[in-house]
Amino acid sequence: MSSLFQQQIQPQIQSIKPYVPGKPVSELQRELGLSHVTKLASNENPLGASEKVLAAMEIALKDIGRYPDGNGFYLRSALAEFNQVALNQVSIGNGSNELLELVGRVFAGPGDEIIYSQYGFAVYPITAQIVGATGIEVAASNYGHDLAAMAKAVTERTKLIYVANPNNPTGTCFGRDEWEAFIQSIPPHVMVVLDEAYLEYVDQVDYPSGLDYLADYPNLILSRTFSKAYGLASLRVGYMLASEEITSYINRLRAPFNVNHYAQVAAVAALHDQQFVQQSVELNRQGKKQMIKALEDAGLDYIPSQGNFICVKFGLDAAEINQRFLQQGVILRPVANYGLTAFLRVSIGTHQENQHFIDALSKVL
Ligand SMILES: Cc1ncc(COP(=O)(O)O)c(C=O)c1O
């Protein structure tokens, strides 16, 4: 870029590192001349979407020339009913990613502080940068959020705290006691975003569901997605639940047609097919067992995960081992950008996809 334009770019935008997406399966196949490639890099649902979703989208195809419903009435109504909240407490986004960023823009700007955990989901520090706020990273405890330390990090400049339960990429999950002590200690004017992107997969018995706290804590915002257990990652649809007041501000900032018609139709159908969600969760549970056994047999350490992925410790050679996995046709997620240089993240796939990873494991080590 010419230096003339570089001067015009906002300083906080100049310092953002561009997101590097994983290679598409087809490109890797072509590059390496492989016939069989397994992508376990993006925490997607290996079952794809439910048949009911596909059928609903087929019917909706005839509407392709029309704008979507800008208010997302049917989807928001379905979500309000599903979660037993008022319609005006639901906002929808082009993936929960968009909403996580919108909340940052609603509440924080230059001079403000946004708190998140070390190894917390990448969108939180990026949002702090985008809005020009100061990102405050709080050291993790055993790879998970140290909620007590995060509460202590609140100052008079703090506007927003992002917590993910479970967290990506670590899969760590905090329990009810820790959460309640945290949320009770946060000043009521400081917003807390509880990102529950992976909640459907959680087995932990003392998992605190954010919904149980929404009525008592008006500074609480819940973030959910259809990209994981519901299998709609390509359509980009997520939602937030918050007080009606907060939701009205998120809606003011939202582009009028931010969630396309097919995403809305598919999400309603997906929400009504909880059997598919249960099937996906069970597949994940079995797949995680299969993967953990293989990792333990290979003598590898990993971070215990409540999500649909596992962060595996490969040591100093992790980057090289990632290349060897690619040669074997297995795409994993390097997490060096999180400071986890010794780890690679592997998503849980179908039984056969997991087996491809396991077969490759013995060859790459
Ligand atoms: C913790 C967490 N939150 C939010 C998201 C965003 O998901 P989406 O934008 O697909 O809803 C992800 C995606 O991987 C995630 O891991």
Q: Is 164 in the pocket of ligand 1 (CB under 6 A)?
A: yes
Token output for 30: 């072509």
Q: Which domain holds residue 86?
A: 52-272
Ligand 1 mean position, distance from CA 361 (Å):
27
Ligand 1 mean position, distance from CA 225 (Å):
7
98 backbone dihedrals φ, ψ, rounded to 5°: -60, -45
Residue range 307-327: mean pLDDT, rounded? 96
Where does a domain end: 272, 305, 336? Answer: 272
- Of 94, 96, 309, the residue with max ligand 1 atoms within 8 A of its CB, to mutate for a pocket test, comes to 96
Tell which residue, 197, 204, 159, 200, has the closest CA to residue 178: 204
CATH classification of the domain holding 129: 3.40.640.10
In the chain, where does DSSP find H-type helix? Answer: 3-6, 11-14, 25-32, 51-60, 73-83, 96-107, 123-131, 147-152, 176-185, 211-214, 244-253, 261-271, 274-297, 318-327, 351-364
Ligand 1 mean position, distance from CA 96 (Å):
6
135 backbone dihedrals φ, ψ, rounded to 5°: -80, 130
Are 144 and 100 found together in one domain? yes
Cα distance between residue 317 and residue 320, in whole Å: 5
pLDDT reported for residue 23: 72
Q: Is 172 in the pocket of ligand 1 (CB under 6 A)?
A: no
Residue range 88-108: mean pLDDT, rounded? 98
Angle at which helix 261-271 crosses helix 51-60, to 10 degrees, equals: 150
Residue with tokens 């079952």: 47
Are 60 and 39 found together in one domain? no
CA-97 nearest atom, ligand 1:
9
Q: Is 305 in the pocket of ligand 1 (CB under 6 A)?
A: no
| Percentage, residues of the chain above pLDDT 70 | 98
Are 44 and 73 found together in one domain? no
pLDDT reported for residue 22: 67
Q: Is 349 in the pocket of ligand 1 (CB under 6 A)?
A: no
Classify residue 339 by its DSSP letter.
Answer: T
Taking CA atoms only, the protein residue closest to ligand 1 atom 3 is 197
What size, in residues, is the chain? Answer: 365
pLDDT reported for residue 146: 98
Measured on CA atoms in the order 310, 165, 122, 264, is the torsion positive or negative?
positive
Ligand 1 mean position, distance from CA 88 (Å):
23
Residue 79 confidence class, pLDDT cut points 50, 70, 90:
very high
CATH classification of the domain holding 42: 3.90.1150.10
Residue 11 falls inside a structural domain: no
Are 190 and 305 found together in one domain? no
Where does a domain end: 242, 272, 302? Answer: 272
- Of 40, 119, 170, 195, the residue with max ligand 1 atoms within 8 A of its CB, to mutate for a pocket test, comes to 195
Q: Is 195 in the pocket of ligand 1 (CB under 6 A)?
A: yes
Q: Is 94 in the pocket of ligand 1 (CB under 6 A)?
A: no
pLDDT digits 0-9 by tens, 276-288: 999 999 999 999 9
Taking CA atoms only, the protein residue closest to ligand 1 atom 1 is 168
The answer, yes or no, to whether residue 1 has pLDDT greater than 70, is: no
Are 176 and 79 found together in one domain? yes
Q: Is 238 in the pocket of ligand 1 (CB under 6 A)?
A: yes
CB 114 within 8 A of CB 159: yes
Cα distance between residue 298 and residue 273, in whole Å: 38
Q: Is 121 in the pocket of ligand 1 (CB under 6 A)?
A: yes
- Of 40, 102, 121, 308, the residue with max ligand 1 atoms within 8 A of its CB, to mutate for a pocket test, comes to 121
Q: Is 50 in the pocket of ligand 1 (CB under 6 A)?
A: no
Task: Tell me the three-class secondary structure of 99-146, residue by residue.
Answer: HHHHHHHHHCCCCCEEEEECCCCCHHHHHHHHHCCEEEEECCECCECC
Where does a domain end: 272, 297, 318? Answer: 272
Helix or strand (DSSP H, E) at 225:
strand 220-225
Q: Is 55 exposed, middle or buried (0-12, 13-18, 19+ CB in 10 A)?
A: exposed
CB 165 within 8 A of CB 175: no
Q: Is 227 in the pocket of ligand 1 (CB under 6 A)?
A: yes
Q: Is 97 in the pocket of ligand 1 (CB under 6 A)?
A: yes
Are 266 and 283 found together in one domain? no
- The count of domains in the chain is 2
Can you tell me whether residue 223 is helix, strand or coil?
A: strand
Are 68 and 135 found together in one domain? yes
CA-236 nearest atom, ligand 1:
10
CA-233 nearest atom, ligand 1:
10
Are 240 and 299 found together in one domain? no
Q: Is 259 in the pocket of ligand 1 (CB under 6 A)?
A: no
CA atoms within 13 A on the CB side of 14: 9
Residue type, position 94, single letter: N
Are 197 and 285 found together in one domain? no
Tell which residue, 240, 245, 145, has the closest CA to residue 189: 245
Are 39 and 64 found together in one domain? no
Q: Is 118 in the pocket of ligand 1 (CB under 6 A)?
A: no
Judged by average pLDDT, the poorest of 27-31, 89-93, 114-118, 131-135 is 27-31
What's the gap between Cα 153 and its chain centre? 24
Cα distance between residue 121 and residue 108, in whole Å: 18
Tell which residue, 180, 240, 170, has the closest CA to residue 206: 180
pLDDT digits 0-9 by tens, 158-180: 999 999 999 999 999 999 999 99
12: how many CB neighbours lie within 10 A of its CB? 14
Residue 17 confidence class, pLDDT cut points 50, 70, 90:
confident
pLDDT reported for residue 11: 83
Contacts of 96 (CB under 8 A, 6+ apart): 195, 197, 223, 224, 225, 227, 238, 239, 240
pLDDT digits 0-9 by tens, 252-275: 999 989 999 999 999 999 999 999
